[in-house]
Amino acid sequence: DGVIAHGMLSMAFLGQFIEQQIAAYPDALLTRFKVRFANMVRPGDVLTCRGLVTGRSREPDGREQVTIECWAENQRGERVTSGEAVVSLPSA
């Protein structure tokens, strides 16, 4: 009942969040990004994006692969969108 925001809006916010986190690495690549829409976002909701590194590995070419669990939550702390991003970082 009523107006809601399209799920792709919260997905875009999460993508922007991940891009901001890796901005210090000019050669970083977002290689995979998937999300799940859990709750509706209504006009006036305030979304906060958060993330947690859940895995690291080394690729054959020496790049580091970092897995990040990410989510957008509303002002009540309810997760509205949850996702996972995989980022490839240049070798140090």
Q: Give per-residue pLDDT as tens, 4-48.
A: 999 999 999 999 999 999 999 989 999 999 999 999 999 999 999
Q: From CA 15, how far away is CA 51, in angstroms rounded?
A: 11
Kindly report the pTM of this predicted structure: 0.90
Residue 63: the pLDDT is: 93
Placement of tokens 């919260």 in the chain: 10
DSSP 75: T
Domains and CATH numbers, the chain: 7-89 (3.10.129.10)
Q: Give per-residue pLDDT as tens, 43-86.
A: 999 999 999 999 999 999 999 999 999 999 999 999 999 999 99
Q: With pLDDT > 90 as the criterion, what percentage of the chain qualifies?
A: 91
